[in-house]
Structure 1
């Protein structure tokens, strides 16, 4: 994936329907919690090979298990075919935050560093905000 200079607001405005509304609501929540950090549209093939467009918040340098560190985002949001995905690239005590807090986040599916849900109504927003605040605390060098 590559960071782009594309207009994030224009990208979000183009998201249609209820999922588009949820995507914009997520953007407002994350932007409030990450005030002062960058907000960038990333595009390209994700590690699984699927083409993605992800709004990334808070630039970080993330070490990789194999190979060189990569420039990435602290939190990213993407609209998928059937759901929304939120990627949280912060860990505590060797475990990604979304895994550590899976039981608090509502009716969401949790992967290693990602959570997915069909609509914003499935997400416990106060718990999500707390997760975002903790991610920012754990990554003080995010820009």
Structure 2
């Protein structure tokens, strides 16, 4: 997975209307908490070996298990075949916030750092905003 030079607006405008609306709604929520960050488009093979395009917010340096420093994003959003994924790379109380707040996030499926949902109405927006706020604080401390 690599950060590209693709433009956010060009990418979103290329989506079908349903996906475009969802991505724009999620984008507005994220930008409420990440107002000064640039959006980055990441492409390539992601966890599990699938080819993906992810909109990343809050780029930062992180260390992989092999000690290699890599650039990554604090929050990411992707369109999957049958759902949307919100990736939150923030930790609270030694666990990813997606897992910590899983019971409060709504009608979603939770991975280690991901929240998958079929429509935006399935999300508990208050809880999503809370974990985005946690991610933003951690991103600011990481800069």
Bin for the TM-score computed over the shorter chain: over 0.9
1:92, CA displacement in angstroms? 1.4
Alignment of 1:25-64 (within 5 A): 25-64=25-64
Contact 2:43–2:54 (8 Å) recurs in 1: yes
- Structure 1 gap ranges (5+): none
Of stretches 99-108 and 130-139 in structure 1, the one that deviates more from structure 2 is 130-139
In structure 2, the residue corresponding to 1:128 is in which secondary structure? helix
Contact 1:74–1:142 (8 Å) recurs in 2: no
Structure 2: distance between partners of 1:14 and 1:141: 34
More helix as a share of residues: 2
1:11, CA displacement in angstroms? 0.6
Which residue matches 2:72?
Answer: 72
1:126, CA displacement in angstroms? 1.5
1:19, CA displacement in angstroms? 2.9
What TM-score, normalized to structure 2?
0.93
Q: Which runs of 4+ in 1 moved over 6 A?
A: none
1:4 corresponds to 2:23: no
What TM-score, normalized to structure 1?
0.93
Q: Deviations over 1:117-139 (max 9, x none)?
A: 00001001111111101111123
Alignment of 1:1-143 (within 5 A): 1-141=1-141
Contact 2:58–2:139 (8 Å) recurs in 1: no
In structure 1, the residue corresponding to 2:36 is in which secondary structure? coil
Number of residue pairs matched? 143
Instruction: Give the superposed CA RMSD.
Output: 1.4
